[in-house]
């Protein structure tokens, strides 16, 4: 049985790298517009869980259902199409394309979805304004601060109106003040757009921006919402 | 917190009535715990006795008498001394949580579940504070941040302890 109205549900995921089990029976669910924090110590399998949920990694066993479709049985091409149309991503480091300006970086997901340059950059600029970094639109990632770069990354993750944003330690490289502001902007923007957020973090103060949290230990996730 | 020193400090900007003092205190420091009138008047009479404040005037306006208090030079010196003295860090060496964890281990109950429940409780409060911070002004943010950082420290201890439960079980075994 899956939780009613869930957008993304994983059941009993298993994944082994070599002889090391990364996931050992992990279950998870998220509703539309919900912010769920995935917590746990380093090496507990929380990033592997995120990669499986986002269709980046295929689990050895278990099922992942997104909006009623089984992700693990899709082809690679179908999965990348899904990631482009419905998912957004924010990581800890090095995610912006260094050769492109911050505006071009933000517009990239729309351009990949076939939106024309002018329209894409207009929407991108709106998102940069919302994330309070429209003043650096013409600069390249190497010319801006870590906090500014991360706001650009958040703008890019949300620009194509995804249904789910996957954020893996999105504030890991920022100081407290910048990290908090990024979390505030990310969760506010996502909630107002009814975008779900899967937030991997080991920091409790970051997790406190979520609606709910689950803990991954030794590859097993305890999702209290989840009824087996 | 020393209410006496805080009220004294509030008087430095000029004489005030007891009621004004209470209002200023509640607005700036008493979000969760506003002062009782009784506390204000008891504190002021102590400060008066110790020569740290003096009565600047008495008004009645037809109603009950209201004293207006002013800070004395001795009072100003007292506020300075208080601000210059660092607070004693509290090491919480005798924590109830630690006792509960050890008792759980000694009695064969699940210490891991105990830690997990405590963890959720802490995070629930952190969520409430984060929400309040988001909706509040800068003063609210700073007050909530102070509480959040302490709760976060507790949570880190909970995580560390959870990771060392097997070792701890051996150490405390009867």
Whether residue A227 has pLDDT greater than 60: no
The closest CB to that of A207, out of B116, B123, B134, belongs to B123
Residue ranges of the domains in chain A? 8-222
Q: Burial code of B11-40, b = ≥16 C-beta within 10 A, e = fewer?
A: beeebbbbebbbbbbeeebbeeeebeeeeb
User: B117 CB near a chain A CB, below 8 Å?
Assistant: no
Fold held by A8-222? Rossmann fold (3.40.50)
For chain A, state the CA radius of gyration: 17
Cβ–Cβ gap B130/A41 under 8 Å: no
Mean pLDDT of chain A, nearest integer: 90
ipTM associated with this complex: 0.80
Nearest to B77 by CA among B8, B16, B30, B167: B8
- The pLDDT of residue A199 is 96
Q: Which residues of chain B have pLDDT under 70?
A: 1, 93-94
- The pLDDT of residue A228 is 38
- The pLDDT of residue B33 is 81
What is the per-residue pLDDT across A3-62, written as a single tens digit (0 to 9) for each? 678 999 999 999 999 888 899 999 999 999 999 999 988 888 899 999 999 999 999 999
pLDDT band at A1 (very low <50, low <70, confident <90, very high): very low
Answer for the pair A31, A196: CB distance below 8 angstroms, yes or no: yes
- The pLDDT of residue B32 is 74
Residue ranges of the domains in chain B? 3-84, 96-172
Nearest CA in chain A to B128: A208
- The pLDDT of residue A114 is 93
CATH architecture of the domain with range B3-84: Orthogonal Bundle (1.10)
Distance from chain centroid for Cα A114? 22
- The pLDDT of residue B30 is 75
- The pLDDT of residue A5 is 83
Q: How far apart are the CA of A156 and the nearest CA of chain B, in angstroms?
A: 23
- The pLDDT of residue A223 is 64
User: B163 CB near a chain A CB, below 8 Å?
Assistant: yes
Rounded Cα gap, residues A213 and B85, in angstroms: 41
Nearest to A213 by CA among A228, A191, A193, A198: A198
- The pLDDT of residue B96 is 84
* DSSP 8-state assignment for residue B88: P
Answer for the pair A156, A185: CB distance below 8 angstroms, yes or no: no
The closest CB to that of A205, out of B116, B134, B152, belongs to B152
Region A212-225: what's the mean pLDDT?
79
Place of tokens 């607005």: B27
């Amino acid at each position: 049985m899956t939780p009613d109205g869930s957008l993304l549900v994983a059941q009993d995921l298993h994944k082994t790298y070599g002889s090391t089990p990364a996931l050992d029976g992990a279950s998870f669910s998220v509703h539309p517009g919900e912010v769920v924090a995935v917590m746990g110590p380093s090496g507990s399998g929380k990033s592997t869980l995120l990669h499986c949920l986002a269709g980046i990694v295929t689990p050895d066993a278990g099922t992942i259902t997104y909006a009623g479709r089984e992700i693990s049985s899709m082809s690679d091409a179908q999965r990348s199409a899904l990631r482009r149309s419905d998912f957004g991503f924010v990581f800890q480091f090095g995610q912006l394309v260094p050769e492109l300006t911050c505006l071009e970086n933000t517009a990239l997901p729309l351009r990949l979805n076939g939106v024309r340059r002018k329209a894409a950059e207009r929407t991108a600029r709106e998102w940069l304004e919302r994330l309070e970094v429209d003043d650096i639109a013409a600069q390249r990632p190497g010319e801006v601060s870590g906090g500014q770069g991360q706001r650009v990354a958040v703008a890019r993750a949300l620009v194509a109106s995804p249904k789910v944003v996957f954020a893996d330690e999105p504030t890991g490289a920022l100081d407290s003040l910048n990290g908090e502001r990024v979390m505030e902007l990310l969760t506010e923007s996502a909630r107002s757009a009814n975008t779900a957020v899967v937030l991997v973090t080991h920091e409790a103060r970051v997790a406190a921006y979520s609606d709910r949290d689950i803990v991954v230990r030794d590859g097993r996730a305890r999702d209290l919402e989840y009824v087996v | 917190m020393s209410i006496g020193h805080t009220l004294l400090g509030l008087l430095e900007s000029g004489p005030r009535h007891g009621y004004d003092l209470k209002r200023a205190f509640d607005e700036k420091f008493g979000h969760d715990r506003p002062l009782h009138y009784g506390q204000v008047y008891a504190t002021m009479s102590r400060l008066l006795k110790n020569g740290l404040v003096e009565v600047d005037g008495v008004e009645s306006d037809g109603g009950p008498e209201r004293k207006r208090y002013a800070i004395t030079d001795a009072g100003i010196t007292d506020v300075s001394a208080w601000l210059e003295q660092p607070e004693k860090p509290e090491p919480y060496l005798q924590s109830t949580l630690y006792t509960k964890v050890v008792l759980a281990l000694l009695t064969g109950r699940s210490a891991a579940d105990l830690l997990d429940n405590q963890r959720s409780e802490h995070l629930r409060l952190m969520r409430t504070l984060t929400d309040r911070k988001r909706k509040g002004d800068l003063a609210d943010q700073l007050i909530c941040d102070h509480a959040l950082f302490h709760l976060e420290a507790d949570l880190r201890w909970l995580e560390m302890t959870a990771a060392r439960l097997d070792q701890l079980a051996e150490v405390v075994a009867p």
